[in-house]
Amino acid sequence: MSVQQGDRRSRRSRTAMERALLELIGDRELSQISVSDVTGRADVHRSTFYEHYTDVHDLAASACTEMFDQLLSATSALSVTWDSSKEGVSPSLTAVFAHVAEHRALYEALLGADGSARVINHLLQRMTESIRPRFAARLTDPEGGTEDSAPAFVSGALLGAIADWLHRGCPGTPERFATAIWPQLVAASLARPA
């Protein structure tokens, strides 16, 4: 078999397993899904699963890459300045919550009580890296170092707000929720280290 055929077969297997997991998440909690459930639904061997993933949580992070990329695109567009509190809520923050609402069932499965700590950590790290450039100019301290915790703090606050909104059943609209948390996000983003 040529390398190209192997690559195509590998992509088909990965796609089948990712699709199977997303279908299974529609039926039950992530914590209740086994490797056997995925391989049976995808019609692949267990050995094929372990060629690509370490476990179901690893598969979940991979299966949601495109969805997470959409979320990260919205978060990386967030722009918080000293005048932000006067300008009103950022359309990018509204886009974040609109995206979450659109994929609500999947985010609830991944970020909820029975979700995956590994997936949450994966998403938190990616969110932090996506917003880090927005902080670059403000992070340099007078002694030449950087205060690197601000992007992680803001990402954690945003992910926490998303998880809380999901836990409460996404009350209101994405616009209304974004408007409610915008002042806190601005305050957290603009706080200067002591």
Give pLDDT, residue 17. 96
Distance CA 161, CA 164 (A): 5
In this prediction, the residues of the chain whose per-residue pLDDT falls under 70 are 1-6, 78-88, 136-148, 189-194
Give pLDDT, residue 82. 42
CB 116 within 8 A of CB 30: yes
Give pLDDT, residue 177. 92
Give pLDDT, residue 154. 85
CB 56 within 8 A of CB 35: yes
Give pLDDT, residue 64. 87
Give pLDDT, residue 83. 45
Helix axes 65-76, 91-102, angle to 10 degrees: 160
DSSP 193: P
Give pLDDT, residue 1. 54
